[in-house]
């Protein structure tokens, strides 16, 4: 590219992207589309050429992109979207304006939206305080359902001084609300109890997503195992952190939990 | 380049399980010579969907058709994405990988749409360089698809047919010719679709796309929705191209308002008929009957 092209080509691509993403584009295009493009760094010829294409054409991609993203996000967090009501589309609009997707994968966009929006929902009195938890819960289902496949059991005994190998789909989700007990119907508007919740989610052999509600101690142990601690370190550390005595009941309960997870295919055994 | 020809279908989640059920029942779907898959829907993914796709791959050949390569974009190629894409294309045994002659994002943002490129020589040079880079990273030939575009960014120094030809000339890319996109652009911009096709280097075409579209009152344009049945003029363009190229893979794309699979296969039968018409004319053309 020559020097002119080196600035002109990026400016033209930037102009198209601005038509999709910049705030208040509709009003600015309606007021003076040529000025919009010149303010965006285009030369007079390119700005005039774009301006002559007319408002409706210039705004097509803005509408197509936003509608496409809205539909893709709604597919993955349908109950969250339903509970937001008409505000859902406004949140997607804001997301596109202020942040926008980065991933090559359309199925990641709902995750990107929730990561951006959830902290804002938490401080917005118009949004139910459990909504971030519900959105993350819906995304966990999608995440677990499409997580990498894995091999079967490792064939290695999980002993006190070995680390555990979990199925690649296993996730430990923590929420401030019991959103997993909400009615599944998108039209439902029941409100979850505000209680600390730990859920182990995994995908079974039939590709169904399953959940186990965990006690605080079980969650603490699994948290540590998932981080790669040995079984001994995980149990001792979790009990200590929770101020619980490491008695026979804890040990027996841990053994039952791990056996149950192995039966379910969520725990594959000890790591090599 | 492609040992795949005939009429195929874009594989979609909406009927993936139906295809697997048909395979389990020992039934080969009538009229489906192969499937086209979009890697981004299946890459970096486990569970039910890839298991089903793998089952389909045991019985049908695949062509890969990407969605987010952003071949005209300025952001550097994401190496992790390209490596994953390469693995997917290799596993699929697709003889080439196609994506769109467009850009899809800027400044590190991915807008998940097919945004139009300037029709200038600088743009063609840039895209050709990116195609060569993509081919090196993917390890297979790349085919680019002409897109539907609702405006052209900036002053054009060439028209679209010349632009496509220049990109192909400057790269070793092949052309995935979407005749529905040609028809939509021709209607929206008031040019002759056949005249446009006559000016393309048809010897570079390795695949065709056909699809339906919708007229949008809101936009005052025909929009390439892939959400309606095909119209006959688009099938006529398909036959016209096949008459000149001979056998190629032709894919029916349907992404919205997807009918039940049996109805979609009836629609595919219309593509088969157009394809057969094109092949018959090609045979006459080759014999010098025309």
- Say if CB B95 and CB B119 are below 8 A apart: no
| Whether A70 and A11 share a structural domain | no
**Average pLDDT of the residues in B154-172:** 96
Please tell me if residue B289 touches chain A, with a CB cutoff of 8 Å. no
- Residues in chain A closer than 8 A to B67 (CB atoms): 106
Tens digit of each residue's pLDDT (9 = 90 or more) over B93-113: 999 999 999 999 999 999 999
What is the band of B153 on the pLDDT scale with cuts at 50, 70, 90? very high
Q: Quickly state the pLDDT bin for A5 (edges 50, 70, 90).
A: confident
In a domain, A115, yes or no: yes
Task: For residue A1, give the nearest of B122, B155, B221 by CB distance.
Answer: B122
CB contact under 8 Å between A169 and B46, yes or no, is: yes
* Residues A210 and A246 grouped into a single domain: yes
Question: Where do the H-state alpha helices sit in chain A?
Answer: 3-21, 25-39, 44-51, 55-58, 60-76, 78-84, 87-98, 109-122, 131-145, 216-226, 231-242, 248-264
Q: Which of residues 157-176 of B touch A (CB under 8 A)?
A: none
- Per the structure, the complete domain to which residue A13 belongs is given by 3-58
The answer to whether A137 and A179 are in contact (CB under 8 A) is yes
CATH superfamily of B6-287: Divalent-metal-dependent TIM barrel enzymes (3.20.20.150)
C-alpha to C-alpha distance for B55 and B84, rounded to whole angstroms = 20
CB–CB contact A146 B46 (8 Å): yes
Query: Tokens standing for B81?
Result: 């994405």
Give yes or no for B75 touching A (CB within 8 A).
Answer: no
User: The tokens 């191209």 sit on which residue?
Assistant: B241
Q: Looking at chain B from residue 186 to 245, which residues have their Cβ under 8 Å from any Cβ of chain A?
A: 218-221, 223
Give the nearest chain B residue to A50 (CA atoms). B154
Closest CA to B53 of B82, B94, B83: B94
In a domain, A152, yes or no: no
Do residues A48 and A22 both lie within one domain? yes
Search chain B and give the residue with CA nearest A46: B154
Contact flag A150-B150 (C-beta cutoff 8 Å): no
CB contact under 8 A, A169 and B47: yes
Residue A271: what pLDDT?
93
One-character DSSP codes across B45-56: --SHHHHHHHHH
Judging contacts by C-beta atoms under 8 Å, the chain B residues touching residue A50 are 151, 153-154
Q: What does the alpha-carbon distance between residue B83 and residue B92 come to, in Å, rounded to a whole number? A: 14
Length of chain A: 272
Q: Do B47 and A207 touch (CB under 8 A)?
A: yes
CA distance B267 to A90: 38
Q: Within this chain, do residues A116 and A210 fall inside the same structural domain, yes or no?
A: no
Q: Is the pLDDT of residue A1 over 70?
A: no
Residues A221 and A243 in one domain: yes
Cα three-residue angle B220-B222-B228, rounded to 5 degrees: 130
What is the pTM for the complete model shown?
0.95
For residues A191-213, one letter each, b for 16 or more C-beta atoms within 10 angstroms of the residue's C-beta and e for the rest, the string is ebeeeebbbbbbbeeebebebbe
Contact (Cβ atoms closer than 8 angstroms) between residue B153 and residue A13: yes
Nearest CA in chain B to A41: B154
**Domain co-membership, A169 together with A265:** yes
Residues of B in contact with A100 (CB under 8 A): 109-111
User: Within an 8 Å CB–CB cutoff, is residue B107 touching chain A?
Assistant: yes
Indicate yes or no: CB of A104 within 8 angstroms of CB of B150.
Answer: no
Q: Does A43 lie in the same domain as A24? A: yes
How many domains in chain A?
A: 3
Residues of chain B with pLDDT > 70: what percent?
99
A11 is a domain residue: yes
Residue at A30 is within a domain: yes
Q: Does B151 touch chain A (CB under 8 A)?
A: yes
B243 sits in the region (left: phi over 0; alpha: psi -120 to 50; else beta) called alpha
Question: Looking at the partner chain, which of B47, B107, B113 has a beta carbon nearest the beta carbon of A65?
Answer: B113
* A202 shares its domain with A251: yes
pLDDT in tens, A174-190: 999 999 999 999 999 99
Facing residue for A106 by CB, picked from B112, B126, B218: B112
- Which of A24, A27, A126 has the alpha carbon at shortest distance from A84? A126
Number of CB pairs < 8 Å for A and B?
143
Q: Are A237 and A255 in contact (CB under 8 A)?
A: no
Q: Are residues A23 and A40 in the same domain?
A: yes
Q: Is residue A176 domain-shared with residue A231, that is, in the same domain?
A: yes
Considering the domain architecture, whether residues A86 and A184 belong to the same structural domain is answered as no
Q: Do A1 and B125 touch (CB under 8 A)?
A: yes
Query: Which among A16, A21, A64 has CB closest to B153?
Result: A16
In a domain, A110, yes or no: yes
pLDDT for the residue B1: 58
pLDDT value at A3 more than 60: no
Distance CA B162, CA B199 (A): 8
Please, which pLDDT band fits residue B287 given cuts at 50, 70 and 90? confident
> What distance in Å separates the CA atoms of residue B121 and residue B129, rounded to the nearest whole number?
12
Is A255 among the domain residues? yes
Residue A114 inside a domain? The answer is: yes
Q: Nearest by CB to A65, from B43, B72, B111: name it.
A: B111
Average pLDDT, chain A: 96
How far is residue A24's CA from residue A19's CA, in Å, rounded to a whole number?
A: 10
In a shared domain, residues A173 and A259: yes
* Nearest CA among B206, B63, B69 for reference residue B127: B69
A58 interaction partners in chain B (CB closer than 8 Å): 151
Q: Using CB atoms, which residue from A53, A100, A105 is nearest to B109? A: A100
Please name the residue of chain B whose CA is at the shortest distance from the CA of residue A145: B47
Where a domain ends, among A42, A58, A74? A58
CB–CB contact B150 A61 (8 Å): yes
Closest residue in B to A103 (Cα) is B110
The pLDDT, as a whole number, for residue A151 is 83
> Using a CB-CB distance cutoff of 8 angstroms, which residues of chain A are in contact with residue B103?
13, 16
Residues in chain B with CB shorter than 8 Å from the CB of A145 are 47-48
What lies within 8 Å, CB to CB, of B82 at 6+ separation is B134, B137, B138
**B203-246 pLDDT per residue, tens:** 999 999 999 999 999 999 999 999 999 999 999 999 999 999 99
In what helix (H) or strand (E) does residue B281 lie, and over which residues does it extend?
Answer: helix B261-287
A252 within some domain: yes
| Chain A residue with Cα closest to B105 | A17
Residue-wise pLDDT for A193-209, tens only, equals 999 999 999 999 999 99
- 8 A C-beta contact, residue B147 and residue B181: yes
Nearest to B47 among A5, A49, A147 (CB): A147
Domain ranges of chain B: 6-287
Q: What is the pLDDT of residues A230-264, one digit of tens each?
A: 999 999 999 999 999 999 999 999 999 999 999 99
């Amino acid at each position: 590219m020559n020097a002119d092209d080196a600035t002109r080509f990026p400016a033209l691509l930037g102009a198209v992207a601005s038509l999709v993403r910049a705030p208040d584009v509709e009003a600015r295009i309606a007021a003076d589309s040529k000025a919009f493009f010149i303010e965006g760094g285009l030369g007079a010829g390119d700005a005039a050429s774009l301006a002559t294409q007319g408002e409706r054409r210039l705004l097509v991609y803005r509408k197509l992109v936003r509608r496409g993203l809205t539909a893709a996000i709604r597919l993955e967090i349908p109950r969250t979207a339903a509970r937001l009501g008409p505000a859902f589309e406004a949140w997607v609009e804001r997301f596109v304006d202020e942040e926008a997707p980065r991933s090559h994968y359309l199925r990641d966009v709902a995750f990107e939206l929730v990561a951006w929006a959830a902290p804002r929902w938490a401080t917005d009195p118009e949004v139910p305080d459990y909504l971030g938890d519900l959105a993350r819960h819906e995304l966990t289902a999608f995440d677990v359902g499409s997580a990498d496949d894995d091999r079967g059991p490792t064939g290695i005994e999980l002993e006190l001084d070995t680390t555990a190998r979990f199925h690649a789909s296993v996730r430990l989700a923590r929420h401030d609300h019991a959103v997993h007990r909400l009615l599944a119907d998108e039209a439902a508007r029941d409100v979850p109890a505000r209680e600390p919740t730990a859920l182990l989610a995994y995908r079974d052999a039939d590709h169904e997503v399953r959940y186990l509600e965990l006690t605080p101690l079980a969650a603490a142990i699994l948290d540590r195992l998932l981080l790669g601690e040995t079984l001994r370190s995980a149990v001792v550390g979790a009990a200590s952190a929770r101020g619980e005595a490491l008695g026979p009941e804890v040990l027996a309960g841990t053994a039952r939990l791990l056996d149950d997870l192995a039966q379910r295919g969520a725990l594959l055994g000890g790591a090599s | 380049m492609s040992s795949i020809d005939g009429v195929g279908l874009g594989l979609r989640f909406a009927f993936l399980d139906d295809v697997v059920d048909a395979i389990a029942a020992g039934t080969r779907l009538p009229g489906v010579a192969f499937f086209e898959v979009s890697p981004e829907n299946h890459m970096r993914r486990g569970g039910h969907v890839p298991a089903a796709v793998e089952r389909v791959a045991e019985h049908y050949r695949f062509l890969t058709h990407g969605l987010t390569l952003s071949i005209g974009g300025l952001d550097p190629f994401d190496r992790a994405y390209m490596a994953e894409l390469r693995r997917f294309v290799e596993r699929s045994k697709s003889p080439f990988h196609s994506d769109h002659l467009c850009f899809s994002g800027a400044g590190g943002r991915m807008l998940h749409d097919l945004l139009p490129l300037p029709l200038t020589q600088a743009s063609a040079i840039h895209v050709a360089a990116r195609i060569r880079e993509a081919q090196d990273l993917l390890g297979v030939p790349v085919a680019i698809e002409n897109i539907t575009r609702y405006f052209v960014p900036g002053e054009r120094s060439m028209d679209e047919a010349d632009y496509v030809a220049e990109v192909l000339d400057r790269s070793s890319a092949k052309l995935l010719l979407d005749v529905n996109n040609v028809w939509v652009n021709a209607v929206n911009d008031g040019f002759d679709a056949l005249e446009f096709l006559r000016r393309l280097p048809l010897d570079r075409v390795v695949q065709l796309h056909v699809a339906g579209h919708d007229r949008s009152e809101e936009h005052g344009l025909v929009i390439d929705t892939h959400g309606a049945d095909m119209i006959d003029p688009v099938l006529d363009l398909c036959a016209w191209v096949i008459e000149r190229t001979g056998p190629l893979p032709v894919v029916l794309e349907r992404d919205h308002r997807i009918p039940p699979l049996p109805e979609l296969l009836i629609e595919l039968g219309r593509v088969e008929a157009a394809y057969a018409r094109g092949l018959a004319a090609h045979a006459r053309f080759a014999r010098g009957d025309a």
